[in-house]
Every structure is written in structure tokens, then in C-alpha cells.
Amino acid sequence: MKIIEPVGEGVMFIAWAEAERGSMANRGIALPESPTPDQAREALEFARGTRDADWGMFVGWPDDVKWSRATATVAEIGEFRHCGYWTFRVLTNDTRFPRDAASTLANGTLTADDHNAEIMDLRRIVPEIASAVGDGHRPEPLIAVRNAEDGKPVIAEGNKRSIAYQHAFPPEAEIEILFGTSPNMANWRFYNFA
């Protein structure tokens, strides 16, 4: 992974909100065409919950994250960890490596949860994403975080794309990411969520 430059938290919120623009619109959550960092944060918190809520994506998200714009190769991203959401644990046989999820999907390996709508959606959506990015579509950067300087990055946003990249690009291809570190990141609900 190569760090390019430091960025503010607002850059992360805008990228995350833009990546979820379609799903937020499907739920009736409006995001302005060029949102400010505060508008992006507010839309995400409305859709996903706040840091101090007892539900949602941002439970336990620390206030002291240092953000950078960076690149990582597809091979490196294959060894990041998915967020701890159950679907990614199932697809990776609990390794949480995107490369393992990609292998499960590419090989058609069945899981005990293949009847579940979320798993069926992943089996449908990931090849669509791989096709789109392979054809030149450039989505928002992946958002990855880690607890300490030597910890494995965990993908906070872009988990499906991280699998699709394993199919769409060669291992040495570089992908843009927004990368955050905090000594308190392990407090985030999905950092190690089982």
C-alpha cells in the first residue's frame, strides 16, 4: 500500500455517501448533487446510524481517525479483511479475505446460507460490479481502516467492490483507497464483529 497524502474526515464521508447514493435513494434519503462533508455525514448517519447509537454501521466508530488517500494493489486488497458482517464471514469461511470470497463466488462453492437473500444478492451483484469496473467504470475509492500501524486493514466501505476487483483486474493493478488509522478502531462494531 502506498500513502499518497493526508485528507480530512470529510473526504471519507463524501466518498462513502457517494458510494451509497443509489441505496440511500432507494430508501428515500436525499443526498445533494455535490454534498458538503456535513451533508454527507448526516445522510449516512440517517441511513446507517450514529457513532453513539445502539444500532447501525457507525456504532463505536472513533473520533480520532487519521485519514489518507492511498493506493493498494488488487493482491494487497485481497488480503485486507472484510468488515465483520456475517455475509462476508460466510463467503470467506471466516477468513474475511476478499480473495477467498472471490474464490467462493468464482468456483460456485455453495455455502450453508446460499438460500439467504443477502448471499443470493452478493452472488448476483459482485459479477455485475466486476463487469462494470472491467469496462472502465471507476467507482468511489474503497474505505479501509485499521486499529494500529501494524494491523491488517479492514474494509469499512466497498466490500463487494473488493471482491469484484479480484475478478476484474490483475493482481498488480492499483486501486484508490481512503485509509484511516486510529488506536481506538477496534471499538468499531464491525471491526471484529462476529
Interval 6-55: pLDDT, tens: 999 999 999 999 999 988 888 888 899 999 999 998 888 888 876 666 67
| Cβ pair 15, 43 in contact under 8 A | no
Q: Please work out, in degrees rounded to the nearest 5, the angle formed at the alpha carbon of residue 121 by the alpha carbons of 119 and 126.
A: 100
Residue 99 C-alpha cell reads as 480473495
The DSSP letter of residue 56 is S
127: nearest Cα among 100, 156, 155, 163 = 163
pTM to 2 decimal places: 0.91
Rounded-to-integer distance, Cα 13 and Cα 44, Å: 8
